[in-house]
Structures are given as C-alpha cells and as structure tokens.
Amino acid sequence: MPKINVPGTGHGEFTSPAGNRYWEYKDDKIKKILDQAIWIIQHSVTRMKSCDDCFKALPGGRNFNDVWKDDRIWINFEPRADRDWYGITFGVGGTDISISQSAFDKGRWWVAGTLVHELAHTNGATITSKDADKTLLKCGLVSAYEGVIGVQSVAKKDFYV
C-alpha cells in the first residue's frame, strides 16, 4: 500500500520548486478522513475488475491492485485550501502524491477519488488527456468525477494534477 506521510516515518516534508507542499499529516481530523478514504479503496475499489482493467490500459500498464501494492508511493498533505487543484503528483511517473485541504473539505469520497486520480498519474496517465479522471468512472467513484484534464505548471514543470 502507498505510505502515509505522518511524523516519524522519516519521509520528511518538502516543497517543490513550483511551491507545492508535500508535507506530513499532523491533524488527527484530517488524517481520519484520509483513513476513511483508504478504507473505501481497500474495501471497494480494489475489488473491481473494471478498475483493474482500466488502470492496466494506462501507459504504465499496471492494474489498480499492482499500483495499490506499491509501497514506494507516498501520500503527502498540502495544508492550503487556496490551490487550484485537489491532488498533485510530483514529476512524471512520480511516487509523491499530495492531497490538498480543498479535497478534505469535500469529504472522504472526494479524497478517495482524488487519490485514485493521482494513482493513475503514477501509472502514466498523461495530463493532456482525461484518462486519470476517467478511471473514477470504472473504479466506483463517479461522485468525484469532473472530467478533468490536468493542468501543468508552465513555468516549472514539476507536477501533474
């Protein structure tokens, strides 16, 4: 399973060149919502063949369960709610995801959807297509689907949203 960046893991906190925060979860209320989102993924999303199949069709070629087993992936926290994104992945095929406060403001289902969307980017979904967001339709997370095409920092291309 992806690892959650909480104090004591040794992962630490970093801010990307574009100014995005990949920080630790220190607030128990926020961490609880993340745990609920992970519960949804463990008990529902991982059991859907349609989700495995649509992940396998992404450029990275791994099914959802393969990605979910990848403990090189870290789930970090962006404490600001004024970002124009809910989730972000550092670098192409990167293993650091950050979920913003604005996703947590929308609740556990939105956080689960954001996480699956970003996991699709770790599996090669590009930001020039709707592929990452479309996985939500096959992974039981229709309520978090927006048909989003990612935007990328023009000045500093260090992330996928």
> What residues contact 55, with CB distance under 8 A and at least 6 apart?
62, 63, 64, 66, 67, 119, 120, 123, 135
Integer CA distances (angstroms), 39 to 1, 43, 89, in order: 12, 6, 21
Interface mask (CB under 5 A) for Zn ion, residues 81-120, using x and -? ----------------------------------------
Angle between helices 131-138 and 108-122 in degrees, nearest 10:
130
Kindly state the smallest distance separating residue 114's Cβ from Zn ion, in Å.
Answer: 9
Q: Which of 38, 45, 132, 136 binds Zn ion (CB under 5 A)?
A: 132
Kindly state the smallest distance separating residue 72's Cβ from Zn ion, in Å.
Answer: 20
Kindly state the smallest distance separating residue 133's Cβ from Zn ion, in Å.
Answer: 6
Q: Which of 21, 45, 150, 159 binds Zn ion (CB under 5 A)?
A: 150
* By the rule CB under 5 A, 58 interacts with Zn ion: no
Stretch that binds Zn ion, among 9-17, 30-38, 97-105, 129-137 (CB under 5 A): 129-137
